[in-house]
Amino acid sequence: MTDELLQRIAECKIVPVVKIDDVADTLPLMKALAAGGIMSAEITFRTACGPDALALAAKECPDMLVGAGTVINKEQAEKAVACGAKFIVGPGFSKEVADVCRAADVLYLPGVVTPTEVMMAIAEGLKVVKFFPAENYGGVKTIKALAGPFPQLKFMPTGGISAENIKGYFETGKVIACGGSWMVKDSLIKAKEFDKITALSKEAMEVVK
């Protein structure tokens, strides 16, 4: 199952990092992304309604690849699985979250920035990790450096990614997809500017094609 999901993420190319403060925004937002050609979303657990938004998106948008983001402990991981998350993303690596994901056959993408963290992920059998916060930790240069001792690993960089720099990440040959929030900014969601989200999504997909 996880290999199949990795293939789908690779096909999606962009995984928007979505922060939802009002559950009512969930479905219009998913539709706006899909209309722009983006068929995935990482709904963060940073807000109180994150789990409810995830459950709603997972149920009502079966064509979208919907996962949970900012998952930092076992309890959140179990909640994410119960809500229907197809994948779970963390800002860092957690052994207990890895255990929950393995038991549930859910893809785990932990955040890493150092060789030691990469080795911890590899020890759990992971093939892809989130590189976060990407731009703060050297971006493309660091991914190339980490690819040397860990040729078997692929990355999903997130943090500071934009339409202006995303192409450089894919050019490393080590990036399966990129996470980003520039097309789903808080201000756009709160103002319900879903047409703008669709337009930014289309632009982003044009860049990565």
pLDDT tens digits for range 163-184: 999 999 999 999 999 999 999 9
Q: Which pLDDT belongs to residue 2?
A: 84
196 included as an active-site residue: no
Given the residues 13, 79, 130, 154, select the one marked as catalytic: 130
**Structural domains of the chain sorted by starting position, each given as residue range(s) with its CATH number in brackets:** 2-200 (3.20.20.70)
pLDDT tens digits for range 82-120: 999 999 999 999 999 999 999 999 999 999 999 999 999
Q: Which pLDDT belongs to residue 146?
A: 97
75 included as an active-site residue: no
**What are the residue ranges in the chain where pLDDT is below 70?**
none
Given the residues 42, 86, 154, 174, select the one marked as catalytic: 42
Q: Which pLDDT belongs to residue 122?
A: 97
Q: Which pLDDT belongs to residue 106?
A: 97
pTM of the model: 0.96
Computed over every residue of the chain, the mean pLDDT equals 97
Tokens at residue 120, please?
């911890």
